[in-house]
Amino acid sequence: EAQVTQNPRYLITVTGKKLTVTCSQNMNHEYMSWYRQDPGLGLRQIYYSMNVEVTDKGDVPEGYKVSRKEKRNFPLILESPSPNQTSLYFCASSLASGANVLTFGAGSRLTVL
């Protein structure tokens, strides 16, 4: 089944404790992206990647890191989480760019205390 898988689905952590949210797709998509969803603010793009070893900042990259060492994986790293990073995070992928249909993962709800 074609899908985007992200883990963990739920996580409660404390300020400053590094964490990684993994994202993997099995559709051979070139484009992968991370979004955070907050009430009233829609989906805001954190980082995206056009291909292996190519990553770019989105609208809200502060406090996040990403890497794209393999085509299928695009992990989101929070080096020192803070409470304002409490949010619902979605990974998504598409065939070639942001102008193609996005397939979203199921979401990861992160709480930083």
Which residues bind to other proteins, rule: CB under 8 A?
31, 33, 35, 40-45, 48, 50, 56, 58-59, 90, 97-99, 101-102, 104-107
* Least distance CB 90 / other proteins (angstroms): 7
Q: What 3-state class would DSSP assign to 83?
A: helix
Strand 10-13 and strand 87-94: the pairing is unpaired
Peptide bond into 83 cis (omega under 30): no
* Least distance CB 17 / other proteins (angstroms): 27
Cα 57 to the center of its chain, rounded Å: 12
17 versus 57: smaller Cβ distance to other proteins: 57
Query: With left for phi above 0 and alpha for psi between -120 and 50, is residue 63 left, alpha or beta?
Result: left
51 versus 80: smaller Cβ distance to other proteins: 51
14 versus 41: smaller Cβ distance to other proteins: 41
* Least distance CB 14 / other proteins (angstroms): 26
Peptide bond into 75 cis (omega under 30): no
38 versus 80: smaller Cβ distance to other proteins: 38
